[in-house]
Amino acid sequence: MFFANFMEFNVIKCIFHEEGKHLLLMNFKSVAPMQPSSNVLFQRIFFCGIFILLISCNRASNTSDLPVVRLVTTEGDIDIELNVKQAPVTAKHFLEQVKLGKFRDAQFYRVLQSDPGGTYNTGIVQGGVHGTSVEIPSIPHEHTGTTSLTHTDGTVSMARTTPGSATGEFFICVGDQTPLDYGRRGTADSLGMAAFGKVIEGMKTVKKIHNLPARGDRLVKPVQIRKVIVL
């Protein structure tokens, strides 16, 4: 091994990027050649140290205690953090449906890529069990005026018609969609939509889906959600 003949090395650092992954940077410092008899012991100690640091880095990269679900789609994976603290009604409802397997045959089928007025809803990818036989109960409308969440890039929110009609249809914001917050003009009743989570990894997949061919607001070929799992 290329490092077997050195006794000292500098501290290994963990660097995190926005996708939550880490890189290990190792700077070795040559001091004195080791005796052959000590090579095996050194290697064991070295690898034990690396293992401990890897575990520490992984723990540090996910300090949030909020549940995370992964949408495995035909276009890639999307990891969503569910804010059960600030939006307990909506987030826990979504998590429960995931655990019940209700999204097994779900799909992304709707996108809003532009608006005739050019003001609202220019970046939305919507999915759920629409068009299937799956039944999901409705929940009370938990608007952003009570949760203090907001519809920014990557926010996950419940789709609805009237307040209290949300079941299992959800959407992901692409770009700033704060007009969908409570008290804004993005909805006819100004009650806004119920944000309950955010994409923590996989926005490239979301944007890829958002840019797929569509007729009006419907994707020409819906994107299948193969499964949703709790991480």
- 83 and 127, same domain (yes or no): yes
54 domain-assigned? yes
Query: For residue 131, is it within any domain?
Result: yes
Q: Are residues 113 and 177 in the same domain?
A: yes
pLDDT digits (tens, 9 = 90+) for 183-202: 988 887 889 999 999 999 99
> What pLDDT sits at residue 188?
78
- Domain boundary, last residue among 38, 61, 84: 61
Q: What is the pTM of this model?
A: 0.71
Contacts of 117 (CB under 8 A, 6+ apart): none
- Examine the domain organization and report whether 216 and 160 are in the same domain: yes
- Together in a domain, 118 and 202: yes
Write out the E strands in 160-205: 170-173, 194-201
Is residue 1 included in any domain, yes or no?
A: no
- Quote the pLDDT of residue 11: 39
Q: Are residues 144 and 46 in the same domain?
A: no
Pair 83, 39 in one domain: no
State whether 141 and 197 are in the same domain: yes
- Pair 169, 78 in one domain: yes
Residues 141 and 90 both lie in one domain: yes
What CATH number is given to the structural domain containing 99? Answer: 2.40.100.10
pLDDT in tens, the chain (231 residues): 444 443 343 433 443 344 444 443 334 344 444 455 556 665 666 665 565 555 554 444 455 799 999 999 999 999 999 999 999 999 999 999 999 999 988 999 999 975 555 555 679 999 999 989 899 999 999 999 999 999 999 999 999 999 999 999 999 999 999 999 999 888 878 899 999 999 999 999 999 999 999 999 999 999 999 999 999
pLDDT at 24: 39
Distance CA 56, CA 228 (A): 27
pLDDT at 217: 92
Residues spanned by the domain of 26: 8-61
Number of domains in the chain: 2
Q: Specify if 2 maps to a domain.
A: no
> Would 156 be classed as within a structural domain?
yes
Q: How far is CA 231 from CA 23, 70, 167, 175, 177, in A?
A: 21, 7, 23, 26, 27
End-of-domain residue from the set 61, 87, 106: 61
The H or E element containing residue 44 is: helix 36-61
Q: Do 100 and 191 have their domain in common?
A: yes
To which residue do tokens 């064991």 refer?
Answer: 44
| Two tokens, residue 14 | 């963990």
**Residues 31, 55 within the same domain:** yes
Which uninterrupted H or E stretch holds 107? strand 107-112
d(CA 192, CA 185): 8
**Whether residue 56 sits in one domain with residue 158:** no
Domain end, chosen from 61, 78, 99, is at: 61
The answer to whether residue 3 is domain-embedded is no
